[in-house]
Amino acid sequence: MSVDAEDYRQFTGPAELHKAVNTLRGLVAGMTAENGLSDAEAMELANWCALHSHLRTRHPFSELLPVVESALSDGELNEDESKDILWLCSNFVDEAKYYDVTTSAIQFLSGFIHGVMADGVLTDGEIETLRKWIQNNDYLRGTYPFDELDSLIHATLADGVVSEDERGQLTAFFGQFIDFRDSWNLSESHFDSLREKYSVEGICAHDPAIAFAGKAFCFTGKSTICDRDTIADEVTGLGGKFRNNVSQKTDYLVVGNDGNPCWAFSCYGRKVEEAIALRKAGATVTIVNERDFWTAVTAAKGAI
Domain boundaries, the chain: 5-197, 216-303
Q: Report whether 182 contacts 48 (CB < 8 A).
A: yes
Mean pLDDT value across the chain:
88
Between residues 147 and 2, the one the model is more confident about: 147
> What separation in angstroms does the CA of 91 have from each of 88, 95, 202?
5, 6, 36
In this predicted structure, what is the pLDDT of residue 218? Answer: 97
User: Per residue in 168-198, pLDDT tens?
Assistant: 999 999 998 898 988 999 999 999 999 888 8
CA 54 to chain centre: 29
Claim: this prediction has a pTM higher than 0.85: no
Which residues are within 8 A (CB) of 220 and not within 5 positions of it... i.e. 6 or more apart? Answer: 253, 254, 255, 256, 267, 269, 270, 271, 272
Closest by CA position to 141, among listed 154, 158, 129: 154
Give, in words, the CATH class of 216-303: alpha beta
Q: Percent of the chain, pLDDT > 90?
A: 67
Helix (H, G, I), strand (E, B) or coil at 145: coil
CA angle 49, 52, 58 (to 5 degrees): 115
218 membership: H or E segment, kind and range: strand 216-220
pLDDT in tens, 104-153: 899 999 999 999 999 999 999 999 999 999 999 999 998 999 999 999 99
Contacts of 164 (CB under 8 A, 6+ apart): none
Question: End-to-end CA distance of the chain, in Å?
Answer: 64
